[in-house]
């Protein structure tokens, strides 16, 4: 394929070298003439393992050229990879100056190109940038339409400096956000041979997932480092602890706990986080990330409270009271907090929880409810149908096939449902369903 690469920093230069190595004709474009001169001379513009040898190898192949002329590069290629920098502005926002200027250049270049062209944004871009800003600029500057005369898409880059050639050849996955099959097919030709999944998604999800990945990486590093600071203060071997943590691939290094939902609670996580924070404080160790988890969790509960209050509904049916589906444990349940707050605001509440009901009948949790939550225990009803029929709004905090069936058969038009559990088939409900943050 004939490929032009805009921006010859770490991402662009490594892509240029690897694509030329793989047999493609590559035109590098940069506004920095020093980088163009280095590549012309067969040198690397970035310090990266393996790049000196690879650039020397591809320079003699005749498949690499460089230019500062964007229009020529677009005219002479089928597809452009945009890898310009998107650094932080002083207020923390993304400085999009380079990519916005590039969009103007790209539009002008496409104005004079007669055959369709694929433009792949590989720079990290805040969600909405491609469809909300860059597309408009390119369409205006070119006088042409995305999806007809040219095709925009977004493919996040996952290489890491220091191992970028190896990462290029073995990425965690290839993710392409596109609105049209043509750019996806072209990228499959380029990257489909790599030993990883090739995933198609929406442009915005592809933009956002790049941030989610980097945020997650930063969170993991900080988790290990905060744990290590506390370990040191306690005289515990941090490497041993983190090695043990990583050996649990069922709950720790897995998909577990990574699905959006309601706040956590229960008899373990809150108390153990609190004890961790206290332990750190008593040893003069700062662990700001771990210490702020409870506050973030509380915000999630407050979001649900606000949604109920903002709805204007006064008769609310709460489905679920224990801290998660399948248990009767009410200790530190976020649904109890939700119920208490709603009661405090004068909401008429009725509650159904099959597990709590059963445990109450058996006498297991009866004392806890009677002594700790008598005001809530009185609101527990045994009949889900009655709760559904009597409520203007239902808050669904636990899920089971039986609960879903009851919602599907008994909810009515005009009734509202606040879904805290990501109900499986919302469209089957006659009520208006709103998710907590989905
Ligand atoms: N560096 C990484 O490890 C990495 C990994 C994944 C994603 N990313 C993302 O990829 C993007 C590029 O990162 P980088 O580290 O390679 O950037 P970089 O700053 O090293 O290089 C950017 C290059 O773009 C050039 N440029 C600016 N405007 C241009 C224009 N109009 N035309 C042509 N060239 C232009 C600059 O001169 C510079 O050489 C960023 O959005 C970054 O967030 C970087």
Reading the block at residue 147, the tokens are: 């999806």
Tens-place pLDDT, residues 380-403: 999 999 999 999 999 999 999 999
Distance from CA of residue 16 to its chain's centroid?
A: 28
Measure the CA–CA gap between 343 and 354, rounded to whole angstroms. 21
126 alpha carbon to ligand 1 midpoint, in Å?
A: 15
| Phi, psi torsion values for 4, nearest 5 degrees | -105, 140
CB atoms within 10 A of CB 198: 15
For residues 266, 267, 273, 274, the Cα torsion angle rounded to the nearest 10 degrees is 110
Q: Tell me the pLDDT band of 3, cut-offs 50, 70 and 90.
A: very high
Start-to-end CA span in the chain (Å): 40
Contact criterion met (CB below 8 Å) for 379 and 386:
no
Ligand 1 pocket mutation, candidates 4, 5, 6, 7, criterion most atoms within 8 A of CB: 7
The angle at the Cα of 170, spanning 24 to 23, to the nearest 5 degrees, equals 10
202 alpha carbon to ligand 1 midpoint, in Å?
A: 23
Distance from CA of residue 310 to its chain's centroid?
A: 27
Q: Which helix (H) or strand (E) holds 350?
A: strand 348-352
Measure the CA–CA gap between 437 and 261, rounded to whole angstroms. 8
pLDDT at residue number 372: 84
For residues 133, 138, 141, 143, the Cα torsion angle rounded to the nearest 10 degrees is -120
Contact criterion met (CB below 8 Å) for 9 and 38:
no
Mean pLDDT of the chain: 96
Reading the block at residue 343, the tokens are: 């009661």
Reading the block at residue 300, the tokens are: 């999630």
- Tell me, yes or no, if 268 is annotated catalytic: yes
Lookup result for tokens 């009725």: 350
Lookup result for tokens 């493609």: 24
10 lines ligand 1 (CB under 6 A): yes
The angle at the Cα of 373, spanning 372 to 374, to the nearest 5 degrees, equals 110
The pTM (predicted TM-score) of the whole model is: 0.95
Q: Which is the closest atom of ligand 1 to the Cα of 13?
A: 16
CB-side neighbour CA atoms (13 Å) of 53: 3
pLDDT at residue number 252: 98
33 lines ligand 1 (CB under 6 A): no
Q: Which is the closest atom of ligand 1 to the Cα of 32?
A: 37
pLDDT at residue number 403: 96
Tens-place pLDDT, residues 344-388: 999 999 999 999 887 776 777 788 888 888 888 889 999 999 999
Instruction: Give me Rg for the CA atoms of the chain.
Output: 28
């Amino acid at each position: 394929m004939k490929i032009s690469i805009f921006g010859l920093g770490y991402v662009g230069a490594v892509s240029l070298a690897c694509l030329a190595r793989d047999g493609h004709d590559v035109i590098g474009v940069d506004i920095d003439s020093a980088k163009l001169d280095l590549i012309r001379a067969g040198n690397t513009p970035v310090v990266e393992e393996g790049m000196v040898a690879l650039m020397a190898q591809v320079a003699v192949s005749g498949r690499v050229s460089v230019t500062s002329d964007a229009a020529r590069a677009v005219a002479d290629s089928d597809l452009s990879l945009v890898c310009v920098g998107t650094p932080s502005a002083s207020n923390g926002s993304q400085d999009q100056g380079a990519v916005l200027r590039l969009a103007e250049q790209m539009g002008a270049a496409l104005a004079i190109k007669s055959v369709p062209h694929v433009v792949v944004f590989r720079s990290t871009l805040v969600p909405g940038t491609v469809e909300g800003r860059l597309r408009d600029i390119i369409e205006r500057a070119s006088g042409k339409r995305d999806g007809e005369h040219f095709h925009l898409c977004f493919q996040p880059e996952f290489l890491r400096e220091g191992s970028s050639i190896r990462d290029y050849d073995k990425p965690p996955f290839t993710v392409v956000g596109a609105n049209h099959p043509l750019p996806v097919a072209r990228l499959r030709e380029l990257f489909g041979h790599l030993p990883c999944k090739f995933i198609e998604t929406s442009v915005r999800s592809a933009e956002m997932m790049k941030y989610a990945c980097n945020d997650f990486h930063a969170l993991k590093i900080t988790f290990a480092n905060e744990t290590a600071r506390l370990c040191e203060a306690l005289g515990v071997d941090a490497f041993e602890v983190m090695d043990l943590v990583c050996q649990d691939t069922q709950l720790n290094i897995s998909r577990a706990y990574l699905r959006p939902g309601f706040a956590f609670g229960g008899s373990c996580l809150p108390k153990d986080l609190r004890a961790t924070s206290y332990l750190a404080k008593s040893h003069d160790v700062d662990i700001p990330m771990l210490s702020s988890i409870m506050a973030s969790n509380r915000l999630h509960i407050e979001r649900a409270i606000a949604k109920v209050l903002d709805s204007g509904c006064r008769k609310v049916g709460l489905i679920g009271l224990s801290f998660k589906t399948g248990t009767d444990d009410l200790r530190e349940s976020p649904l109890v907090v939700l119920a208490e707050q709603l009661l405090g605001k004068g909401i008429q509440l009725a509650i159904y929880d099959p597990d709590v009901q059963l445990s109450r009948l058996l006498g297991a949790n009866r004392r806890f409810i009677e002594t700790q939550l008598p005001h809530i225990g009185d609101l527990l009803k045994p009949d889900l149908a009655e709760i559904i029929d009597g409520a203007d709004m239902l808050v669904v905090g636990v899920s089971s096939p039986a609960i879903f069936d009851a919602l599907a058969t008994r909810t009515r038009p005009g009734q509202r449902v606040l879904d805290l559990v990501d109900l499986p088939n919302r469209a089957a409900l006659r009520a208006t369903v709103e998710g907590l943050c989905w």
